[in-house]
Amino acid sequence: MIIFNLVQNFMANVPKDLLVLVEIGVMIIIAAFFAFLVRLFKQPLIPAYIFTGILIGPLFFGLISDAHLITSLSEIGVAFLIFTAGLEIKFKKLKEVGKAASIGGTLQIAILFFIAFLVSLWLGFTGKAPLYVGLVVAFSSTMVVIKLLSDRREINSLHGRLIIGILLIQDIAAIIALTLLTSDFTMNSMLVSLAKAGIFVIIAFFLTKVINPVFKSAAKSPELLLLVSIAILFLFAIGAYFAKLSLIIGAFFAGVTLANSDYKIEIQGKITPIRDFFAVIFFVALGMQLQLISKEFALLLFVLLGLVIIFKPLIIMFLIRIFGYKKRTSFLTGNSLAQTSEFSLIIATLGFGLGHISQGLFSVLVLLTILTMSFTTYLIGYEKNLFKWFSWPLNIFKGIKSKKENLEYLEKDKKRVIIFGCHRMGSLFLKEFENKKKEPLVIDYNPEIIKSLIKKKIPCMYGDFMNEEVLEKAEFKKAEIIISTIPDVEDNLLLIKKAKKLNPKAMVFVTARRISEALKLYDKEADYVILPQIISGQKGFELIQEMEKDRSELKKLKLQHIKFLNSIHNILY
């Protein structure tokens, strides 16, 4: 409180020609402080930015006097935010999205939209307000969910692929919704808006065919590559403005254009820091517009929280289960999507700016997004425990066969060796055990790896040790050696505990990234902890010493290594 008062007094004496610079500086400093604070507690950063806006805005300390400039800068933040969302939309990816993601995702959007729409009508909201409530509730956060899945290395898991497919469908639906919201809601106007958006699709598709030579030349200079990318973003945004569409539509299709170029990864790497800077300003500006929620809106907030955190995941779980996926995959997919989206914030901001929704409803929708994004960290972090407690509603679909997850190849003879995780290190173990005439059972979370092993008739199963069904089929109790190549310390602690309980005689080998983690695993009775960096360092030093003594062996050793690497690659792919 005292610090904010001191800042307020300081800013009152800043010359007018420096005031804008100082205000932006103060905004970034305070946002950085709260972002650092929430990151210590492993929370998403967006709520920290919005909280910064609430504090420095008129609701509390009123540190920012030129709110119009901040809002203008925040619009650039929205453009970059949606531009990077567009960078994820590859035309090839659209072909890969399965029925569960495409049809299931579309049904989920429709069901949630109509439930939220009817609830808001029931609570007395009229006009265009129920439309915005329905749209905000229907979408989930691509930015937050992908980040959390990536941190947990679950992007390539079966439920990870389903989640990405559903988010892809949601992003496309959100852009269609934004296109329609910029019209005057007459049939003629909506068709014209959709036609204009269709023209942008055609332009984006055409440019993907001719733009690679431009980027090939620009890529020689990192500065030029960045400049050309931003130029395309603003070209599409200005085009959208003249077409009387939202700038967001133009930014999205600019991203789609570059997503389908050969230089997408390089562009993304260079654009991301700029996006993050302007996105901070957008979220802070969003917080500055919030006001206290009155009693008439409090009930709506609690009802919407229930819809997003309880009903949305349940609906997605049921839909995924109906499409033939197992109970666990269905649960993990639905659980990860129990939040509203950054698109929801943009939709709410657009509705408030157009006068379609009131200040009170705008505050409710933004607060809903803040809370649900924050809850997501816990929902995904504790998903395995939550599955044990809350998967019972899916029991009503016991009769449905899990056709989509028959990812296993099991032989009658019992396997004495079980390997969890077959990528990289696991593939080395698999190769060596095969050489020793011991055929292990591989359990992996990547469906593509399991499919490849099935083709080669190598005993394998899709899943992990948290799945009791997997352990039962693998006959975990009879294994002599259990190996985990997954370097997650918490997962390995649970594996050791389960292994020692079910099969005390089995030797348990686990993997760790750090010495401190290895010591913790030894404390919990791991038989041996593999530290890849230390082992590779020791082996590498031995090889270097050998090569110093006899350089003629280097070429021979190199050829043997290439041959060995190819044999490993052939097992997996």
User: Read out DSSP for 54-98?
Assistant: HHHSTTTT---S-HHHHHHHHHHHHHHHHHHHHTT--HHHHHH--
d(CA 49, CA 61): 16
pLDDT in tens, 83-135: 887 787 766 665 655 778 888 889 999 999 999 999 999 988 888 899 999 99
d(CA 268, CA 270): 5
Judge whether 2-385 and 407-572 match in fold.
Answer: no
Determine the pLDDT at residue 411: 73
DSSP annotation of 466: T
d(CA 476, CA 480): 9
Strand order in the sheet with 481-484: 408-409, 460-462, 441-444, 417-420, 481-484, 507-511, 528-530
Determine the pLDDT at residue 69: 74
The answer for 492, left when phi > 0, alpha when psi is -120 to 50, beta otherwise, is: alpha
Q: Which of 353, 77, 348, 94 has its CA nearest to residue 237?
A: 77
- Point out which residues pair with 482 in neighbouring strands: 418, 508
Determine the pLDDT at residue 94: 59
Going from N- to C-terminal start, the domains of the chain cover: 2-385, 407-572
Residue whose tokens read 């899916």:
394
Contact 109, 169 (CB under 8 A): yes
How many residues comprise the chain?
573
Residue whose tokens read 């016991």:
398
For domain 407-572, give its CATH number from 3.40.50.1580, 3.40.50.720, 1.10.10.10, 3.40.50.620: 3.40.50.720
- Domain 2-385 in CATH 3.30.43.10? The answer is no
Determine the pLDDT at residue 305: 94
End-to-end CA distance of the chain: 60
Contact 477, 456 (CB under 8 A): no
Within a 10 A sphere around the Cβ of 176, how many other Cβ atoms? 13
Determine the pLDDT at residue 341: 87
DSSP annotation of 307: I
- What amino acid occupies position 533? Q
d(CA 17, CA 26): 16
Q: Which of 315, 348, 356, 362 has its CA nearest to residue 174?
A: 348
pLDDT in tens, 32-44: 999 898 888 777 7
Q: Which of 472, 477, 465 has its CA nearest to residue 503?
A: 477
Determine the pLDDT at residue 77: 80
**pTM of the predicted protein model:** 0.75
- Dig out the tokens for 238 from the structure: 């200005």
* Ramachandran angles phi, psi of 254, nearest 5°: -65, -45
- Dig out the tokens for 206 from the structure: 């055409």
Residue whose tokens read 């959208």:
240
Which residues in the chain land under pLDDT 70? 1-17, 90-97, 185, 391, 393-394, 397-406, 412-415, 424, 436-437, 538, 546-554, 561, 564, 568-573
Cβ burial of 219 (10 Å; 0-12, 13-18, 19+) is: middle
Cβ burial of 555 (10 Å; 0-12, 13-18, 19+) is: exposed
d(CA 147, CA 159): 15
- Point out which residues pair with 557 in neighbouring strands: none
d(CA 51, CA 458): 53
Residue whose tokens read 């972002």:
35
Contact 225, 267 (CB under 8 A): yes
Q: How many CA atoms lie within 13 A of 451 on its CB side?
A: 8
Residue whose tokens read 């959709």:
194
The answer for 425, left when phi > 0, alpha when psi is -120 to 50, beta otherwise, is: alpha
**CB neighbour burial string for 303-314, b if at least 16 within 10 angstroms, e if fewer:** bbeebbbebbbb
Q: Which of 408, 295, 420, 290 has its CA nearest to residue 358?
A: 290
Residue whose tokens read 């992003």:
171
d(CA 502, CA 312): 37
* Ramachandran angles phi, psi of 536, nearest 5°: -65, -35
DSSP annotation of 488: -
